[in-house]
């Protein structure tokens, strides 16, 4: 399986993503510059966190208007796994691939610490190796991670099982303590916590590695040759 790690100017987690896939998952990964327009040669697309364009203006707004945006849209439309973390989540919102918007943390300060998440939906291609309701430890690092959507959108997220992760505590003021959501088709996931920073016990937790293993397991199952 070949993963694309999209590199935006200012990103600081692309190397962590690459490490998670190559060194911990044991699969192929390649950096893809934001000026590229196609992601057709890849099986999955990863949008890393960091400070793309310095987090100025509205986070993710500039990144979502780069040439690579069309490639991301095409990959999502083709049903490929598209994972956006932190800034990557904000880019997916700006692209319109996920509903809602991101606001500054309720406490108006940058938060950087391990947090506990609950797996709200273990039936997605990103969460298949987690147990339903399982609690995992994955770090956050953001100043603008307060997820918001209106009541109608929230009801749709509930009805369609699009809420993948929730915080066990009110970390940043997010609606319903939402930490991660999928699109209705289930192949696009945005989340504020950083699974790529939790792929080895040396990092304090290996709970994030299960997400990459889930993607790989799903891909192998759907691409298995039937005799």
Active-site positions read 86, 194, 196
Nearest Cα to Cα of residue 126 among 186, 170, 169: 186
For residues 151 and 171, give the distance between their C-alpha atoms in angstroms, rounded to a whole number: 20
Nearest Cα to Cα of residue 126 among 206, 48, 44: 44
Q: CA angle 40-73-96, nearest 5°?
A: 165
For residues 31 and 98, give the distance between their C-alpha atoms in angstroms, rounded to a whole number: 24
- b/e burial code for range 31-48 (CB count within 10 A of at least 16 → b): ebebeeeebeebbbbbbb
Nearest Cα to Cα of residue 200 among 33, 27, 23: 23
Q: What is the DSSP string of 53-68?
A: GGG-SSTTTTGGGSTH
Phi and psi torsions of 143, nearest 5°:
-110, -10
């Amino acid at each position: 399986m070949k993963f694309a790690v999209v590199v935006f100017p200012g990103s600081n987690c692309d190397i962590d993503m690459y490490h998670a896939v190559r060194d911990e998952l044991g699969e192929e990964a390649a950096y893809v510059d934001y000026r590229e327009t196609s992601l057709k040669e890849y099986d999955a697309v990863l949008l890393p966190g960091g400070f793309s364009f310095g987090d100025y203006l509205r986070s993710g707004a500039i990144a979502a208007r780069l040439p690579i945006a069309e490639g991301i849209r095409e990959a999502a439309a083709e049903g490929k796994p598209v994972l956006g973390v932190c800034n990557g989540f904000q880019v997916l919102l700006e692209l319109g691939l996920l509903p809602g918007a991101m606001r500054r943390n309720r406490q108006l300060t940058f938060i950087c610490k391990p947090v506990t998440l609950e797996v709200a939906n273990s039936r997605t291609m990103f969460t298949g190796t987690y147990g339903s309701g399982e609690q995992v430890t994955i770090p956050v690092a953001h100043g603008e991670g307060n997820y918001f959507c209106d009541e109608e959108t929230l009801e749709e997220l509930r009805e369609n099982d699009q809420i993948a992760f929730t915080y066990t505590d009110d970390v940043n003021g997010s609606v319903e303590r939402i930490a991660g959501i999928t699109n209705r088709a289930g192949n696009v996931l945005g989340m504020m916590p950083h699974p790529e920073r939790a792929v080895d016990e040396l990092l304090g937790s290996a709970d994030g590695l299960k997400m990459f293993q889930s993607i790989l397991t799903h891909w192998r199952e759907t691409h298995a040759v039937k005799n």
